[in-house]
Structure 1
Amino acid sequence: MKIDVLSLFPEMFEGVLGSSILKKAAEKQAASYRVINFRDYADNKHHTVDDYPYGGGAGMVLKPQPIFDAVETLQGEATVKPRVILLCPQGERYTQKKAEELAREEHLIFVCGHYEGYDERIREHVVTDEISLGDYVLTGGELGAMVIIDSVVRLLPGVLGNEASPVLDSYSSGLLEHPHYTRPADFRGMKVPDALLSGNHKKIEEWRMKESLRRTWMRRPDLLDSYSLSEVEKKLLAEIQKEQ
């Protein structure tokens, strides 16, 4: 996957893209990153990228020209049509499902804004997706881009090493993930559940399924509204509700 980022603060990405899983993904050639200062595309001598909004109001608005030119340059270099993602508090709320969708792409371009907002023509004619991390506002789009890049790249084949890892993550299955334990089996009187020590794989899987359902029902019951329960899961959920 090829990932391009348009940002006024490229230095913010150095530590994130050069560490941990994202660094390993680049070393394995599963992903490549390029962070570009779109100020370099400004066509005025002062390289300004923002201006006052028509009609008045607080703050400055990003001009269309630098972003149009930057994206069109990247598209001209591309071998496949890239998805162009605008980080914006008005955008679609980001989910694991969206991460899985983006992980199937070959080329992503992220546009990170600052100031009061974007000239509307950028939304209408440049981007394919507008994404928000949640119902709050950040200083700029850089942190949002980092989060999305991390959540997408970890899904690429071979990146995590264990192919089952992303499949079992919370939200990937539609439910929250079950609890985990490791050694020692007894830590300060707090013991690992017997099922996990039994060596019985069927019993272990049933315990994990039940605890995943329990955690979802107690913490995020809204997820069950769109989740299709199997007959076994219905029975387990009934047991959980009776126990609680």
Structure 2
Amino acid sequence: MRVDIISIFPEYFAPLGVSLIGKARDRGILDIRLHQLRDWTHDVHRTVDDTPYGGGPGMVMKPEPWAEAIDAVVASGAAEPGGEAARPRLIVPTPSGRRFTQQVALEYAGEPWLLFAPARYEGIDARVIAEYGESLRADEVSIGDYVLAGGEAAVLVIVEAVARLLPGVLGNAASVTDDSFAPGAMESLLEGPVYTKPPVWRGHEVPPILLSGHHAAIARWRRDQALRRTVRNRPDLAAGLDPGELGEHDREVLDEAWRAVRSEESVESAG
């Protein structure tokens, strides 16, 4: 997969040279190219922003340097052998975009080429998205309901989430199928707790079932823990589970978990 990132802070992406992502780059699985947006400005101050039309606080990133940068990146792909018709998918991180989920990460992992345009200030002039919306399938995405100083951190999150899904990136490909939010009948469940050696640490014991060697019982325990953790930490996901996909034991565990949560809430409200 090829990944291009245009930013006024390309040095922000040094972490993409380490760990699994760095190894994937070394092995040629991932081709990450960084670009300085200011290289496509034409004034002495290398200006990339201006005041917003209609007034208001902050500054807005100008469309001209973004368009020139995007056009240049697209042209570079067309100039490569066999790339005459190649076009990237444009991704713009923004708090006002659609939610970035594991399903979206899987969608992006199926793309051969991604182009990221992380904004600063109050964002990028909306005409840039209008210009490339159809031709590059421009996609505005949000990694959460909060605001960052810029989109670079969001790009790091998205690239790592997508890259680990590419074949050959993870040492154990089965790890992806056990992820929280992994596709499947119970895709809305969070992953349960995990343990390793030693069996006792500072007085904390590994649950005996995990040492039993009884694979069916272990699978059942892990599912129960996932159900309980989802109710406790993401009740919105638990409330959306389809009863038709749940067995009788699943429903019993969920009922018990919901009762525990309501009991805790009533104690807190009474206090």
Whether the TM-score (by the shorter chain) exceeds 0.5 is yes
- Per-residue CA deviation, residues 135-164 of structure 1 (Å, 9 max, x unaligned), is 221111111111111111111111011001
Whether 2:12 is the aligned partner of 1:12: answer yes
CA gap of 1:111–1:208, structure 2 versus 1, over 3 A, is same
Deviation at 1:167, TM superposition (A): 1.5
1:183 corresponds to which letter in structure 2? K
Residue number among 128, 153, 158 corresponding to 2:163 in the alignment: 153
Separation in structure 1 between the aligned mates of residue 60 and residue 246 of structure 2, nearest angstrom: 54
For residues 105 and 147 of structure 1, what CA distance do their matches in structure 2 show? Answer: 17
1:186-225 CA distances to partner (integer Å, 9 max, x unpaired)?
A: 2343222221111111111111111111111222122134
Q: What is the total number of aligned residue pairs between the two structures? A: 243
1:180 is aligned to: 194
Question: Measured at CA, do residues 102 and 226 of structure 1 come closer, stay the same or move farther in structure 2, by a change above 3 Å?
Answer: farther
Q: Is the 8 A contact 1:87 1:113 kept in 2?
A: yes
- When the two structures are superposed, what TM-score results if normalisation uses the length of structure 2? 0.83
Deviates more, 1:210-219 or 1:71-80: 71-80
1:170 paired with 2:180, answer yes
Do the aligned partners of residues 41 and 31 (structure 1) sit closer, same or farther apart at CA in structure 2, a change above 3 Å counting? Answer: same
Structure 1 236/162 Cα, relative in aligned 2: closer, same or farther at 3 Å?
same
Task: Tell me which residue corresponds to 1:140.
Answer: 150
Contact 1:210 1:237 in 2 (8 A): no
What is residue 68 of structure 1 aligned with on the other side? 67
Q: 1:241 to 1:189 in 2, by over 3 A?
A: farther
Q: TM-score, normalised by structure 1?
A: 0.92
3-state SS of the aligned residue for 1:118? Answer: coil
Q: Distance in 2 between matches of 1:164 and 1:240?
A: 27
Q: Percent identity?
A: 44
Distance 1:180 1:87 in 2: 32
Asked if 2 retains the 8 angstrom alpha-carbon contact of 1:210 and 1:233, the reply is no
Q: Name which of structure 1's ranges 187-196 and 29-38 shifts more when overlaid on structure 2.
A: 187-196
Quickly say closer, same or farther: Cα 1:121–1:209, change in 2 above 3 A: same
Of stretches 101-110 and 46-55 in structure 1, the one that deviates more from structure 2 is 46-55
For 1:205 and 1:7, the matched residues in 2 are separated by: 45
- Select which of 88, 113, 116 maps to 2:119: 113
Gaps of at least 5 residues in structure 2 are: 78-82, 261-271
**After superposition, what is the alpha-carbon deviation per residue over 1:56-89, rounded to whole angstroms, capped at 9, x for unaligned?**
3322211111111111122223333211011112
- 1:88 corresponds to which of 84, 94, 104: 94
Query: Aligned partners of 1:62, 1:30: CA distance in 2, in Å?
Result: 33
Deviation, 1:46, is 3.6
Contact 1:178 1:212 in 2 (8 A): yes
Task: Describe the shift of the 1:20–1:46 C-alpha distance in structure 2 as closer, same or farther (beyond 3 A).
Answer: same
Gapped regions of structure 1 (runs ≥ 5) = none
